[in-house]
Structure 1
């Protein structure tokens, strides 16, 4: 419970104490929106790294060289834990916006930081709003900002982490319309940090693997039509391989 309490103190303390920083960032954004976005990213990454350290999370990263450095990408990952966001966001070198559930826009201060970080809030029960968010994500990619989506649509609570939920195909329009590569991300063992023994946070060894870029226009016509399922298969293969590695 100590790790859980410390994490709560860090998160709540940061949100409260960062109010002056939010104001400064807002002023900076009036003159230089890119500087505001980059500085906000680095601030939040520092807090996330502290949370991971307090949790005692050890991360083995594989294939990070597969992430292009000269172009925005669409990150696609499996999703089993709140810690998936921390684990992946701390690795982002360039501006990256996450697609989050709509309810998070109502959380004071947290939603402000998320907006500063180019995050988008998706209402899964509103098809029209969902299409608008996808269009916004496409525009962000075209402006040089990467996007991260967990296309299962919610945290996967299946007992076997290899049993992924279906990927929503609409998420992949960000890549096909935004003309950017897809980076598959596979995260093993993340629910064991927190969700499996809620509310305790336990030290764990996590593997995060980045797959090779997927360029939709280079795929066969059949795989272009089933881009979500195609990416899901790649992530499942990485999860299976790394699950065996963890068991060694």
Structure 2
């Protein structure tokens, strides 16, 4: 009973905190230029830390030194929980956009913020939508912006890392930017997929793997090879923490 009451209060805090910061971010959006730098940094420095604190989550980050933060990257992460987005926003020290499912456009506040800051959307299991996403993602990356996606395609209920969908990495090859594997551990225990907002305090570990070039000796790496190597890097990080 106490846990249920605790989670109800946390859920109320999450809604209020999110609505408040998004309202402020949208008010300031006209002042931040085409790249929406200010609203994106508000997410990483204000919104995400507050939600992690509210969930009782302690974030541990490793491998920041492996990444050249002056260059755009495609970050690919395993997906355990919706709180993964908070962890990634907080850990990545540059303005960051995400690939979201199309349904998120209709979510109040979150959808408004996502559209205002240039997040990318995709209709899952739609080949034409996939081609459009790859074009838009390549343009975003080539324009000097970083993007994060979850190439498993959905959250893992078992904790196992599903195969990475190769098509989602084609944008990095087209734009000529490195792919950075990111491993997340513990998020699924802090906020599980199943059930309604069953938050439990805990530690979320986030690790950056070795950035993967999209060309070797001047020849583009195949997207399947890139997907397989990215997943192998994520698995290696997770196994090192076991």
**TM-score normalised by structure 1 residue count:** 0.86
Q: Deviations over 1:99-129 (max 9, x none)?
A: 0111111112211111233211111132111
Aligned residue pairs, count: 236
Compared with structure 1, are the counterparts of its residues 171 and 13 closer, same or farther at alpha carbon in structure 2 (3 Å cutoff)?
same
User: Aligned partners of 1:2, 1:133: CA distance in 2, in Å?
Assistant: 41
Structure 1 residue 42 displacement after superposition: 2.3
Hey, what does 1:92 align to over in structure 2?
Answer: 92
Matches of 1:75 and 1:19, distance apart in 2: 24
Cα deviation, residue 7, structure 1: 3.4
Q: Which residue of 2 aligns with 1:164?
A: 161
- 12, 16, 22: which one aligns with 2:15: 12
Q: Secondary structure at the match of 1:205?
A: strand
Match of 1:208 among 206, 209, 221: 206
Structure 1, 224-233 or 201-210: larger mean CA deviation: 224-233
Give CA deviations for 1:77-100 in whole Å, capped at 9, x if unaligned.
100111111101112222211001
Query: 2-side partners of 1:28 and 1:117: how far apart?
Result: 12
Deviation at 1:47, TM superposition (A): 1.4
Task: Sort the Cα spacing of 1:217 and 1:16 in 2 relative to 1 into closer, same or farther, 3 A.
Answer: closer
Contact 1:181 1:213 in 2 (8 A): yes
Map of 1:33 onto structure 2: 34
What residue ranges of structure 1 are gaps of 5+ in the alignment?
Answer: 244-248
Is this contact kept in 1: 2:95–2:146, CA < 8 A? yes
* Counterparts of 1:167 and 1:220, CA distance in 2: 24
1:153 paired residue number: 153
Match of 1:246? Answer: none
For structure 2, the 5+ residue unaligned runs are none
Equivalent in the alignment of 1:67? 67
Alpha-carbon spacing, 1:79–1:64, altered in 2? closer, same or farther (3 Å): same
RMSD: 2.3
SS at match of 1:226: helix
Once the two structures are superposed, residues 14-70 of structure 1 have per-residue CA deviations (whole angstroms, 9 ceiling, x without a partner) of 4544575355334325xx223xx1110122221111110111111221101112111
CA distance in 2, matches of 1:202, 1:219: 48
Matches within 5 A, 1:115-194: 115-158=115-158, 161=159, 163-194=160-191
